[in-house]
Amino acid sequence: MPFAFLDRVIESDEDRLVAVRSLTAGEDYLRDHFEGFPVMPGVLMVETMAQACRELLARRGHEGWVLGEARGVRFNSLVRPGQTLRVEVRLRTMDSDRAEFQGSGEVLDPGTVQGASAVTGRLVLRPVRLDNAPSAEAR
């Protein structure tokens, strides 16, 4: 399964991006999270917001940045199969090695455009740092 959590970008401008990710009952990890009680893991809400941040940065010419920090991320509602997570990220500050975003997500029932808050928090993306890759000697 590709680790892709944006089904579609709904809106975007220079500093803001809105995207959706629908949860389907057939996703493998829902067998474990949880057995008989499938809900979207909270960290996948974070991943959805992080991928929205990465997409916004890519549109600004910064490819491949990764999540480096998450602060004050609250999980407010469960997202169940058949529902959709709609995330919105806003770029707050940015320099050469750090982009700070405010993110939020709401859970939508089928056919609705507004729902309850599912997640809120601040995310920081940064360029990839590979200092700890195994050395040739160790391999």
Partner 1 sequence: MRWLWIDRIVDLAAGERLRAIKHVSLAEEHLFVTPAGVPVMPASLIIEGMAQTAGLLVGHAGGFREKVLLAKIQRATLDREATPGCTLMYEATLTRMDPQGASCNGTVHLRADDEFVPIGTVDLLFTHLDHARSDEVFGNTNFVFGESFRTLLRLSGIEPPEATA
The answer to whether 62 is a known catalytic residue is: no
Query: Residue 13 or residue 28: which is nearer to partner 1 going by CB?
Result: 28
Query: Residue 25 or residue 113: which is nearer to partner 1 going by CB?
Result: 25
Which member of 16, 18, 20, 33 is catalytic?
Answer: 33
Give the residue carrying structure tokens 């999980």.
75
Determine how many CB atoms are found less than 10 A away from the CB of residue 96.
8
Query: Residue 7 or residue 13: which is nearer to partner 1 going by CB?
Result: 7
Given the rule CB under 8 A, which residues bind partner 1?
Answer: 1-3, 28-37, 41-44, 46-47, 50, 63-64, 66-75, 121, 128-135, 137-139
Side chain identity, residue 70? A
- CA nearest 103: which of 71, 78, 80? 71
Minimum separation from the CB atom of position 11 to partner 1 (A) = 23
51 to 35, 37, 56, 133, 139: CA distances (angstroms)? 27, 26, 9, 23, 32
Minimum separation from the CB atom of position 66 to partner 1 (A) = 6
Minimum separation from the CB atom of position 100 to partner 1 (A) = 13
Q: Are strands 8-12 and 16-22 parallel, antiparallel or unpaired?
A: antiparallel
User: 3-state DSSP call for residue 63?
Assistant: coil
